[in-house]
Amino acid sequence: MGKRLENIGVENTEEYRRLYRQLLFTADESVASNLSGVILFHETLYQKTDDGTLFADVLKKRGILRGIKVDKGVVPLMNTDGECTTQGLDGLSERCAQYKKDGCDFAKWRCVLKIGPNTPTPLAILENANVLARYASICQMNGLVPIVEPEILPDGDHDLKRSQHVTEKVLAACYKALSDHNVYLEGTLLKPNMCTPGMSCAKRSTPQEIAMATVTALSRTVPPAVPGVTFLSGGQSEEEATQNLNAINQAPIRRPWGLTFSYGRALQASVLAAWKGQPAKVKAGQDELVSRAKANGQAAMGQYTGGLAGGAGQQSLFIANHQY
């Protein structure tokens, strides 16, 4: 959140964060037709609108499910080439129980892997798969639906074929670990990266090529018992993320899961550009959110025809070694 506010010249204070979230959660109610859930930070769950209503209650009234980020960030994985794992398992069961009591329906945990000449290593793949599985089992014990997020960063000059290969290896390990931990797959969601060339790769791929690589990787690794795949945007521009999701839902290959979006940057960049922290521009920011959500809702059905401008529609949202 701090980086997003900094990019529009707004100070990263608790009040500005609250005002921005209020803008999002009080947008026109039509947004609920395309957004079924929102992932909140701990701070956000307990923040309120100007009239004293909890954000969580505003979302509930609109029929939008409340999720919560429960990991505590990435930490170095010792004796590797810059690889990492994610911390936060200590006390997770107690935190999940409290979040469930406070109205949350699902949770999210992000692990990060990197593509390089010798990475990801088998150690990093196995470690992160087991961390995700342990998190998922703890969530289910406490009545929360876990979103499993093994993000493979787009940093690097690898091509599409390498991205697909690594994605398959990572997802195969994740579902082996989820099985070993007796996780109920029908009560989970997957939040993966799309298979795309590295940001420094000279050879770019079309949406159709990305779609085929992505759906093929999923078909080889993700059981049909998993009800939904909610893609992260991974530094793509807003329009790229929407076009690629649309192509994924048009791919001429079997797709037994719902294929939709769980975007952060690619859903909010134009919103922030329109708002700029100014009270008079709240409505402009909300209109951008409604438009972008509608575009992605259409893409999730393979019905997006393109052409949505937006203040940051074509702007690259890539952040090297992205952490939050």
Token pair of 314 as six digits? 């074509």
Give the pLDDT score at 242.
97
238, 312 Cβ separation under 8 angstroms? yes
Q: Are strands 74-76 and 84-86 parallel, antiparallel or unpaired?
A: antiparallel
* Alpha-carbon gap, residue 266 to 30, rounded angstroms: 19
Integer CA distances (angstroms), 58 to 34, 80, 284, in order: 16, 45, 20
**Rounded Cα distance, 87 and 91, in Å:** 11
pLDDT, residue 222, reads: 98
Count Cβ atoms within 10 A of the Cβ of residue 236 and give its class: 0-12 exposed, 13-18 middle, 19 or more buried.
Answer: buried
The per-residue pLDDT string of the chain (324 residues; one tens digit each, 9 = 90 and over) reads 788 888 888 899 999 999 999 999 999 999 999 999 999 999 999 999 999 999 999 999 999 999 999 999 999 999 999 999 999 999 999 999 999 999 999 999 999 999 999 999 999 999 999 999 999 999 999 999 999 999 999 999 999 999 999 999 999 999 999 999 999 999 999 999 999 999 999 999 999 999 999 999 999 999 999 999 999 999 999 999 999 999 999 999 999 999 999 999 999 999 999 999 999 999 999 999 999 999 999 999 999 998 765 565 455 554 566 665
| Nearest partner of 228 among 29, 24, 25, 37, judged by Cα | 37
Cα separation, 206 vs 240, in Å, equals 10
- Nearest 5°: the CA angle 316, 70, 84 is 65
Q: Give dist(CA 288, CA 272) in Å, integer.
A: 9
CA distance 93 to 277: 37
Q: What is the pLDDT of residue 307?
A: 77
Cα distances (Å, whole numbers) of residue 208 to 96, 253, 292: 39, 12, 21
- Residue 74, beta-bridge partner list: 86
**What residues act catalytically?**
149, 191
Q: Does residue 120 have a cis bond before it (omega within 30 degrees)?
A: yes
| DSSP E strands, 114-186 | 145-152
Give the pair of three-digit tokens for residue 304: 């997006």
What's the pLDDT score for residue 100? 98
- Of 235, 242, 260, 244, the C-alpha closest to 324 is 235
